[in-house]
Structures are given as structure tokens and as C-alpha cells.
Amino acid sequence: KESAGEEANYPRWVRVNAIKSNLEDQLESTFSAFTRANSVQDVIMKSGKHLFIDPHVPNLVAVTSGTDLTKTEAYASGKIILQDKASCFPAYLLDPQSEDGDLIDACAAPGNKTTHLAAILKEHQPEFETSPQIIYAFEKDSRRAQTLDKMVTTAGSKTDTRIGFGQDFLQVDPRAERYKSVGALLLDPSCSGSGIVGRDFMPDLHLPEISSTTEKGTTGKANKRKRKHGEFEAEEPCNVIVDDDGNETIMKSEKDLETRLEALSGFQLTLLLHAFRFPSARKITYSTCSVHMQENERVVMRALQSDIAKERNWSIMLRKDQVTGMREWPVRGLTSACGGNEDVADACIRSYKDDGQGVMGFFVAGFVRLGTQDAGSG
Ligand code: SAM
């Protein structure tokens, strides 16, 4: 196999973009030389070109890694998108329907989940050339917003999507007229990136090389690791903590990591509580590519216990209410991190990069609110 190291234990995940193509067409064209495998493990282990149709997420396939799909017409034209399986969970779990109205992707660049949302809208309403529902995609980092714009254009979802270039989601007024029909929000904020394949996060703190600064007070400098095989970097993790005065501390120890996780989880919770305030919102997904409970179950629990959640009737989206593939996904949240609440833990969806499923470490939970009426003071 061409790929080496940790990445050799993973397939290349490919999402067929329902806006521009469909699975059958791609199996007959881009993947015509691939042999159908019976499992992800077969794709990983067997020599030659193999393909496995994912049983959980629609329009997703695992193919032999080391295959350079970036040279294909399908990739160049946005018919296929190289996106890890776990990264497909949030949009699929949110499952936006026509009655959900407009959508927000709060932390959108590079756009994997924005384009996935647009594809789901299209699948639900194939009769529309352009979905009548708007996706507001905010991205605080202007440079990353350019990448988002490019990805949205290539994927063919430009007409549905309004990009907030350099827009901080926390500065977006939930009461603004234009967001009054926003019924569902996808929240995929900056995180430690500890679930990303190819990164040893702990215990040795072999963190990625430092290059440019991201948001103050939460994450510090970003990694400029070269993109591999055309997959857009979902996150730019860092090993620098920047405090509110702009002072930088390089993380060298577990104590530094704890400090950073505390800062990140405070930021993640603030974003989630802000999402709770949108008057017509009925569904939210919260996700990270982190395996740390501080950024995951603990944020979920703090959000559920918040005054705003109680005022506005937000609760966890229970496993039984989730879309089929997510209900069937076996890896769930940590009960101990949910204060012993087994229902909340079971509602949380996790993945671990070393569990043989061939996916990155990830976390996602859904929140639901009964009724579309504005129940709280906001
Ligand atoms: N959802 C993206 C995808 O699937 O392609 C990945 C998002 S990445 C994990 C988090 C992004 O959120 C980063 O691009 C970061 O610049 C952006 N971000 C961080 N804080 C933000 C804020 N307050 N408002 C909007 N964007 C923010």
C-alpha cells in the first residue's frame, strides 16, 4: 500500500455528493475498477482496489487508501467529496427537513458539513433545482472562509448557501429578522483535534507544528500540515494557548492540556448556548473531532443544565429519535462523564480512531426542542 504509518489502518472515505451525482453512477464510473468488499476491514487489509458501501451513512463509501482520487473528474467537478465517515455524522443526524426552514452552520470552513447539509436538502426535495431553504454558513477566519466558498461552489450548493466571511457566530443576533426561520443549527466548533488520524495528542504531546494564530482565548496557533489526498483539513489544532491578553503558552505537559481543554470547552459551551437562543430553532447538533470528555459529554451536560436550556425546553435527542444509521451506530457516550445518566450517554455518538471501524475519533450529540414557538425570553 502507498500510505504509511497510522493512516495505513484506514480506508479513504468518499461521500458521493447528491447535488451532482448519485451512488449508482459513481459505482459505474469513478469506482468501476474497484472490487466490492464485504467489510471496512477487507478494504483496509486486502491488496488491490476495494470498495465497501457504508451501512450507516447514505451515499458514503470506503475505498482502498492510497488511491489518489484528486485526479478524477468526479473529484474536480464536486461529484465526490473526500470526507471521513465520522465527519458525515452531524449533518446526517441533524437530518434537515423542509419544515425545519433555514439552517445555520455556525463554524463552517472548510465546508464538509455545509455541503453535506445542502446535499441532504436536495435529496429531500429533488423537485427543486435550488432548495428554498437557506443555509447560513458562518466562518470567523476569513482565510478559511475562502476555502469554504470554493468548496461550496465546487459542490454546487452556492445558491442555497450564504457565507458569512469572517463572521463570528457569537456576534450573530438570534433575534435578527433574517434568522427568524432558522429551525436547525449545526455546531462543529474548534476543538483539540485529538481524534484526528495521524496526530498523537497524548500522552507525549507530539503536537503539530506551529504556524498561524486562530481565535484568542481558546485555541492558539494553527497547524499547516499538508493536506493529504485532497481532503480538506476539518480543524487546525494547536499546541499554543493564548490568553485574553494575547499571551501565548506552549503546551508541554498534561497540566497544559487540561488548561487548554478548559478554555476550549468554555468556548464550545458558549457557542452551544448561543445556538439555543434562535427563536424558531428545533434541532441542533453539536460535534467535535476530539476524544476528550471535557469537550464532549461534559459540554452536553453543562448545556442541558443551563438556564437557557430549561427556559426554552431544549433536551437531548434520544437514540430512539435519531436517524436510522445513527441509532444503529454502536459506539456511544461515556456514562461516567454524563453524571451516570445512561439515557444521555446513549444519546451521544462517539467514535475512536483505534476501534477497527476505520474512522477518526469523533463526538456528536443532537438537541431537540418541543414546539416551534419561542418559549423563552432569550
Ligand atoms: N464544520 C467544518 C467542516 O466540516 O468542514 C469544520 C469546522 S472546524 C472544526 C471549526 C471552524 O470554526 C474553524 O474554521 C474556525 O475558524 C471556526 N470558528 C471558530 N470560532 C468561530 C466562531 N466564533 N464563529 C464562526 N466560526 C468560528
Q: Look at the pTM and tell me if it is higher than 0.95.
A: no
- Per-residue tens of pLDDT for the chain, all 378 residues: 344 567 778 999 999 999 999 999 999 999 999 999 999 999 999 999 999 999 999 999 999 988 889 999 999 999 999 999 999 999 999 999 999 999 999 999 999 999 999 999 999 988 887 788 999 999 999 999 999 999 999 999 888 999 999 999 999 999 999 999 999 999 999 998 999 887 655 434 433 333 333 333 333 333 333 344 455 554 444 555 555 455 555 566 677 888 889 999 999 999 999 999 999 999 999 999 999 999 999 999 999 999 999 999 999 999 999 999 999 999 999 999 999 999 999 999 999 988 888 999 999 999 999 864 554 443
Can you tell me the distance from the alpha carbon of 80 to that of 86, in angstroms, rounded to the nearest whole number? 16
Residue 111 in grid coordinates: 465546508
- At residue 131, the pLDDT reads 82
- At residue 371, the pLDDT reads 62
- At residue 226, the pLDDT reads 36
- At residue 240, the pLDDT reads 57
DSSP annotation of 342 reads H
- At residue 257, the pLDDT reads 86
Can you tell me the distance from the alpha carbon of 13 to that of 99, in angstroms, rounded to the nearest whole number? 31
Angle at 180 between CA 179 and CA 183, to 5 degrees: 85
Which one from 191, 238, 289, 348 is the annotated catalytic residue?
289
- At residue 238, the pLDDT reads 52
Place of cell 426535495: 125
- Do the bridges between strand 135-139 and strand 161-165 make them parallel or antiparallel, or are there none, so unpaired? parallel
With the most atoms of ligand 1 within 8 angstroms of its CB, the residue from 190, 286, 289 to mutate is: 190
Q: Crossing angle, helix 142-155 and helix 112-124, to 10 degrees?
A: 30
In 64-111, alpha helices (H):
73-76, 89-94
State yes or no: is 289 an active-site residue: yes
Q: Is the ipTM of this complex over 0.95?
A: yes
The number of the ligand 1 atom at minimal distance from the alpha carbon of 287 is: 9
- At residue 223, the pLDDT reads 35
With the most atoms of ligand 1 within 8 angstroms of its CB, the residue from 17, 139, 289 to mutate is: 139
Residue 130 Cα to ligand 1 midpoint, Å, equals 25
User: Which residue puts its alpha carbon closest to atom 1 of ligand 1?
Assistant: 108
* CA-based nearest residue to 233, from 251, 216, 214: 214
Asked if 226 and 255 touch (Cβ cutoff 8 Å), the reply is no
Residue 31 Cα to ligand 1 midpoint, Å, equals 32
Residue 170 Cα to ligand 1 midpoint, Å, equals 12
User: Which residue puts its alpha carbon closest to atom 19 of ligand 1?
Assistant: 190
The number of the ligand 1 atom at minimal distance from the alpha carbon of 87 is: 4
Residue 333 Cα to ligand 1 midpoint, Å, equals 23
**Who lines ligand 1 at CB under 6 A?**
87, 106-113, 138-141, 144, 168-170, 188-190, 214-215, 234-235
The number of the ligand 1 atom at minimal distance from the alpha carbon of 116 is: 4
- At residue 8, the pLDDT reads 76
- At residue 211, the pLDDT reads 31
Residue 190 Cα to ligand 1 midpoint, Å, equals 6
